[in-house]
Amino acid sequence: MKILVAGAGGFIGGHLVKDLLAEGHELVCADLKPIEFWFQSFENCKNFSLDLKEYENCLKVSEGVDFIYNMACNMGGMGFIENNKAECMLSVLINTNFLRASLVNSVKRYFFSSSACVYNGSKQKETFVEGLKETDAYPADPEDGYGWEKLFSERMCRHFTEDFGLETRVLRYHNVYGPEGTYDGGREKAPAAICRKIANAKLNNEKIIDVWGDGNQTRSFMYIDDCVKGTNMVFNSKSSEVYNLGSDEQVSINQMIDIIEGIADYKVQRNYQLDKPKGVRGRSSDNSKIYKDFKWSPSIKLYDGLKTTYKWIYDQITSGENTKKFTNSY
C-alpha cells in the first residue's frame, strides 16, 4: 500500500514511518519542519517539507495514496500548549484540509491522532482519578486550545464518515514517551524533561532540579512502541469507533522522579515551582473499551520504558554530536 504520514518529522510520526517501512509499504512523508530537523528521516521515502495548513499542499502530498495517517499538529508539553492556544487551534486546518483532500484523491482510509486533552476537566480535579472512559469527553470541556482542536477534529472525522462515506479511525493518545523525540527547547513532555534534568544534574554534580507544580499531579504514560502497535491495530481494523490508547499505570510526577532517580542512580532535591503550567490535577486512561474489542493492553511497564528513554537522552547529552533537532523549538 502507498501511505502518507503527515507529521512524519515528529516523535510519533517518525516511529510510525519506521514501522510501516518494515512492513513493506511505500511511504510519503510530510512535515512543516525542514527535513534536517526531523527526528527520524528515511531516504527510501518521498519526503516533503511544507505547511500542511494549506489545502493545496495537502492535496499535493495525498495524491495517489491509499491511506493517510494524520499525526501532524502544533503541540508540545504543558508549558507550550498553555501559552500557545491559538497556534494549537490552527492545527484544525490540517485535519480539515486532509479530510477534503481525501475525498478528492479517493483515499481509502484516514487516521486522526487525537488526545486525552479532549476530556472534560471536571473529571480531572483530583490527583488519583478513575480512568477516563471515551464517553467522558462529553459534555464538552476539554483542555483550552489544544483540547478543543482535537475534539472538533474528531467530530469532523465522524461527519466525513457519515456524510461522505470516508473510512476514518480516531485514537486518543495518553502521554506518549520514548526515545527519538524532543527533550529540551520548550516542547518536551514530563518524562523527557525529567530524564534530561536528572541526567544534567548527575553530569554536573548538581543536587537540585526544578519541578513544575507540587509534584503530586498524576498521569499515565504510554511507551512509543505500544503506541505504534496499537495505532496500526486499530487502523487496520473494521471499527470506526473512537478509542483510548494509553496506560492505566497512573503515577504522580514525584513517583516518576523517584523511578528515574533509581535508573540514574542519582538522588536530587526538588524545587517545586507552583507558578508554572501544571495542566489538570489527575488523568489516567480507561482501556476497557479497546480491551473488549481488541484484547489490547500496553505491554511495556513504565520503569522499562523510562530506562530506555533515560539512556537515550543521557547518551544524546554526552555524545557531543549535533542534537539540535531534538532541542529546537520547531
Domain span at residue 38?
2-174+222-245
Are residues 214 and 145 both part of a single domain? Answer: no
Confidence of residue 78 (pLDDT cuts 50, 70, 90): confident
What mean pLDDT do residues 247-256 have? 95
pTM of the model: 0.96
Are residues 260 and 150 both part of a single domain? Answer: no
- Please return the burial class of 43, using the count of CB atoms within 10 Å of its CB with bins 0-12, 13-18 and 19+: exposed
Q: How many domains does the chain have?
A: 2
Residue 77 located in a structural domain: yes
Are residues 231 and 210 both part of a single domain? Answer: no
Residues pairing with 27 in the sheet: 3
- Grid coordinates given for 46: 518521498
What mean pLDDT do residues 154-167 have? 98
Query: Is residue 20 a contact partner of residue 27, using CB atoms and an 8 Å limit?
Result: yes
Q: Is the pLDDT of residue 330 over 60?
A: no
The pLDDT score that the predictor gives to residue 211 is 97
Query: Is residue 230 a contact partner of residue 296, using CB atoms and an 8 Å limit?
Result: yes
The Cα 30–Cα 116 span in angstroms is 24
The pLDDT score that the predictor gives to residue 139 is 97
Instruction: Note the pLDDT tens digit of each residue in 114-148.
Output: 999 999 999 999 998 899 999 999 999 999 999 99
Q: Known catalytic residues? A: 146
For residue 72, the domain's CATH number is 3.40.50.720
Residue 294 located in a structural domain: no
Neighbours of 105 (CB within 10 A): 19
Residue 93 located in a structural domain: yes
Query: Is residue 154 a contact partner of residue 112, using CB atoms and an 8 Å limit?
Result: yes
For residue 271, the domain's CATH number is 3.90.25.10
Q: Which amino acid is at 113?
A: S
What mean pLDDT do residues 239-250 have? 96
Helix (H, G, I), strand (E, B) or coil at 150: helix
Confidence of residue 81 (pLDDT cuts 50, 70, 90): confident
Who's near 322: CB < 8 A, 6+ residues apart?
none
Instruction: Note the pLDDT tens digit of each residue in 15-63.
Output: 999 999 999 999 999 999 999 999 998 999 999 999 999 999 999 999 9
Q: Is the pLDDT of residue 272 over 60?
A: yes
